[in-house]
Amino acid sequence: AQTVTQSQPEMSVQEAETVTLSCTYDTSESDYYLFWYKQPPSRQMILVIRQEAYKQQNATENRFSVNFQKAAKSFSLKISDSQLGDAAMYFCAYRSANTGNQFYFGTGTSLTVIP
Amino acid sequence: EPEVTQTPSHQVTQMGQEVILRCVPISNHLYFYWYRQILGQKVEFLVSFYNNEISEKSEIFDDQFSVERPDGSNFTLKIRSTKLEDSAMYFCATTGTEEETQYFGPGTRLLVL
C-alpha cells in the first residue's frame, strides 16, 4: 500500500504571513493524484487543492499553491496571506490513477493562525 | 453547490448494538466510499462501492461491517455488533464518473459505550 507522510504534526503562522506544509509519499506508480484536504473543528473534510502527477505545472487555487516534486515524491502546500479561517487540520492524500480509488491519507498537520 | 450529507451527526450506542450510518451522495455520483477517523488519528479507508457492489475494502472492513444502497439514493454503513474500538468519526465520500476528487460528507461521530 502507498504511504503518505506528513512530518509536521503542528505548525503556526502569523496572520497575513506565508506557511508551507510538507507532505511526502511513497509509490512505485507513475500515474496518480495528490490532494490537500482541510479539516476545521467542525470535522468536515474540505478539498483545498489537487494535483495530477502527469502535470508538471504546480496547481494553484487563490492563496493556496503546491510545490510538486515528482522525483522527490514531495507535495507541499503553501498558504499565502494566511487568514484566521485557515486554522485547521490539513491532510495530504494520495490516490492511484490505475489501481483502485481509495485515498491514502497522511497523519495531518494542525495549523494555528496567530492574530 | 451540491454536497454530501450524512445522518446522524452524532450517535451514542451500547457495545454489541447494531448501528446504521446514512449518507446521501451528490445526485449524479456513482462511486461511494466510507472512511473512518479514530480521534487524533488519520483518516482510514474502509470500503468503496460501485454499481451496487463492493469494489474494494480494507482489512478494517471485516464481517461486522456491511454497506448497501437500499433505495437508490441513500448509501448506508451498518456495523452489526459494535465494539468500543469502533468509536470514531465516519465519513462518507462520493465521486462522479470522470473524476478523481472525492467529496466528503460532514461525518457521523459514533461513540460506543
B53: enclosing H helix or E strand: strand B53-57
* Cβ-contact B41, A89 below 8 angstroms: no
Closest chain A CA to residue B58: A102
Between CA B86 and CA B88 the distance in angstroms is 6
Question: Is the Cβ pair B100, A107 closer than 8 Å?
Answer: no
Question: Is the Cβ pair A103, B45 closer than 8 Å?
Answer: yes
Strand order in the sheet with B75-79: B5-7, B19-24, B75-79, B65-68
Q: What is the pLDDT of residues A1-48, one digit of tens each?
A: 679 999 999 999 999 999 999 999 999 999 999 999 999 887 778 999
Q: Within a 10 A sphere around the Cβ of A96, how many other Cβ atoms?
A: 18
- The angle at the Cα of A105, spanning B57 to B4, to the nearest 5 degrees, equals 70
Question: Is the Cβ pair A95, B100 closer than 8 Å?
Answer: yes
Q: What is the pLDDT of residues A94-107, one digit of tens each?
A: 999 887 788 999 99
Q: Give every CB contact of residue B1 below 8 A, 6+ residues apart in sequence.
A: none
Minimum-distance CB partner of B101 among A42, A43, A47: A47
- SS3 of B56, please? strand
Closest chain A CA to residue B97: A101
pLDDT value at B2 more than 80: no
Between CA B111 and CA A103 the distance in angstroms is 24
Determine phi and psi for A86, rounding to 5 degrees.
-80, -10
Chain B nearest CA to A24, separation (Å): 15
Determine phi and psi for B111, rounding to 5 degrees.
-120, 120
- Mutate which of A45, A46, A104, A105 to disrupt the B interface (most B C-beta within 10 Å)? A45
Average pLDDT of the residues in A46-65: 93
Beta-bridged to residue B44, according to DSSP, are B36
**How confident is the model at residue B28, as a pLDDT?**
84
Cell 488519520 -> residue: B42
